[in-house]
Amino acid sequence: MAKRLLAAKLNLLSARQVFNAREAELSDGGGLLLRCFGSQAAWVFRYTSAAGRRREMGFGASARHSPRAAGESLALARKLAAQARAMLASNPPLDPIDERAKARGAAREAERRQREDKRREKLTLARAARAYHENFIEPRRRPTFATEWIHSLENHVPPGLWHKPIAEITRAELLDFLRDIQHRMADTAQRVRRRLDEVFDEAIERGAVAVNPVAMLRTKLRRENRRKRIVPRPALSFGAAPEFVARLRVQPGIAARCLEFTILTAARTGESIGAQWGEFDLRAGLWRVPGERMKGGEPHVVPLSERAIALLREMQALGRSYAFPSTRQAGAMSNMAMLALLKRMKHTDITVHGFRSTFSTWANETGAARPDVIEACLAHREGDRIRAAYNRAQFSVERRKLLEAWAAYIDGREPASNVIPLAGAKAA
């Protein structure tokens, strides 16, 4: 068919004939036809494919508002017909309609990729993180946690990385900055890594990135963190704890009450200052800290001593949503308030977190409880999940006794050698 088209006589029409044609089908030769419908007309290329199918390929409408326009339309139609004949004559023969469909598909794909590339260029890590925060963190988490979540990224991710297109961020860049903050602030580095991990996972779901470079760093950073020598936080010796607490109780202000509560419960600073009244059951003497506020991400139940309950009842009279609210603004107390209190008390050599070490040393050296019970009070993550669940279920009575004994000790009512007898133990 291709040879017949090439051999056929071509260019049979004139511009004037195209301009004047009405209700007819005029042939220009070689399969090119002008199909007229009154004042409307369209160009059609008729051919037989290599597979033997009779097909018609449209070349679009013919402009005929003037003889000149008709001539230009005729020239364009002849050019398109010549290209189609060349395809049919190629080896192997190509079908013009199929080739046009492929070209249009490729053009659409190129346009889609161009739009995607532009979208990726605009989607920086900052925008991706804030969108994830707005859609998933703010609606599901407490306001204080949600605020801290985004601030941890804004404050610690370097500006050059924070405002870089997320699709261009490399594993090496992330490793360099995470290593840096891990060396200085291991806990913060872990939180930042987890949050970036979530952002990149969501970016994969949205088609913004192909892989999650943060996920590739989990094992490496964890291994490097294990090798790092653990330096204990500066802490007060447990022998000095009763005298310190006696001085603390005469200090005015909410920070003093919060610090004593933190010491009594062996809690972390963030757990105490972020506590809200819905977490407490004062009748049962329990404080249920939700998982999102715990370092290990697991909910933690703290048995409350009588003194801890008395402190909470004192704070209830303030009528605020947080147990230990800020005195300067709405919301929780600043995480620096208790450290500032220690400085006022001339204790610049210790930290609030160090009182967990004071409690642990007292409990272990005096044999106040089994090591597992002590670790459960400190909410240290248990590597074995089944064992951890068992411990939380079984140690409630022993943990309550241990924290009551700790309260009695720092109150000066019990000697340092106080030992809690284990269940089932027989008197000598």
Q: How far is CA 267 from CA 87, 141, 142, 225, 308, in A?
A: 79, 21, 19, 23, 12
Q: pLDDT grade, residue 8 (50/70/90)?
A: low
Lowest mean pLDDT among 112-126, 201-215, 258-272, 383-397: 383-397
DSSP conformation class of 238:
G
- Is-same-fold flag (125-227; 238-410)? no
DSSP character at residue 8 = S
Q: What is the mean pLDDT of residues 111-131?
A: 79
In a 13 Å sphere around the CA of 335, the CA atoms on its Cβ side amount to: 8
Report pLDDT digits (tens) over 332-343.
888 889 999 999
**Per-residue confidence (pLDDT) for residue 385, from 0 to 100:** 47
**Run of H or E residues at 323:** none
In this prediction, residue 394 carries a pLDDT of 52
Q: Where are the beta strands (DSSP E) in 40-170?
A: 40-48, 54-61
Percent of the chain with pLDDT over 70: 88
**Mean pLDDT throughout 283-308?**
89
pLDDT (average), residues 417-424? 44
Residue ranges per domain, the chain?
Answer: 2-98, 125-227, 238-410
Tokens 């609210």 belong to residue: 325
CATH superfamily of 238-410: Intergrase catalytic core (1.10.443.10)
Supply the mean pLDDT for the chain: 85
Is CATH 1.10.150.130 correct for 125-227?
Answer: yes
Q: Is residue 418 over pLDDT 50? A: no
φ, ψ for residue 355, nearest 5 deg: -65, -20
